[in-house]
Amino acid sequence: MNGQTIKNLPDALDHLEQIFEDRVLHALKRLGVPTRDDLQDIALRLEEINAQLRELANDRQATLPAPTAEADDLKLINGIGPVLEGKLNGAGIRRYQQIAALTDADIEQLETEVIHLSGRIRRDDWIGQAKELYVKKYGELA
């Protein structure tokens, strides 16, 4: 090796390294592997979605009536016994109106995280029963 070749060696290595990185990147794209930029974009989008979900949850909580001192007897709903009533109360559900206002997402969360009985709420029509009991006790549903 002469002196000129040794001087060009770092540039040649940099050039080969760039070619290698380009080829690896191209291969990863063809395989559908997300890049670091893709993952950062996804992370930012997830942060935005989570912020929107928190805002919606806060809005939903604001629209729910404040709990009254007196809880309704949830055991009057077929399918709810003392144990389930205790679990629901522990999750902050104490009134017919709260059950009557359950959304699909609320039902999914209750069944998986609180009562641990998949399909029970719909099968026993807790929402319909809660609406009837509310109307019977308080009058028309708001």
Place of tokens 């794209």: 29
**Residues 118/119/120/125 CA torsion (nearest 10 deg):** 160
**Residues 96/129/111/43 CA torsion (nearest 10 deg):** -70
Distance CA 141, CA 129 (A): 13
pTM over 0.85: no
Of the two residues 62 and 48, the one the predictor is more confident about is 48
Distance CA 86, CA 66 (A): 19
- What is the three-class DSSP state of 105? helix
∠ CA 88-91-97, rounded to 5°: 65
What does the pLDDT read at residue 56? Answer: 85
Q: How far is CA 40 from CA 29, 36, 44, 52, in A?
A: 16, 6, 6, 19
- Look up residue 44 and give its two tokens: 């930012």
Is residue 65 predicted with pLDDT exceeding 60? no
H or E element, residue 74 = none
pLDDT in tens, 34-43: 888 889 999 9
- What is the three-class DSSP state of 48? helix
Distance CA 73, CA 23 (A): 68
pLDDT in tens, 92-136: 999 999 999 999 999 999 999 999 999 999 999 999 999 999 999
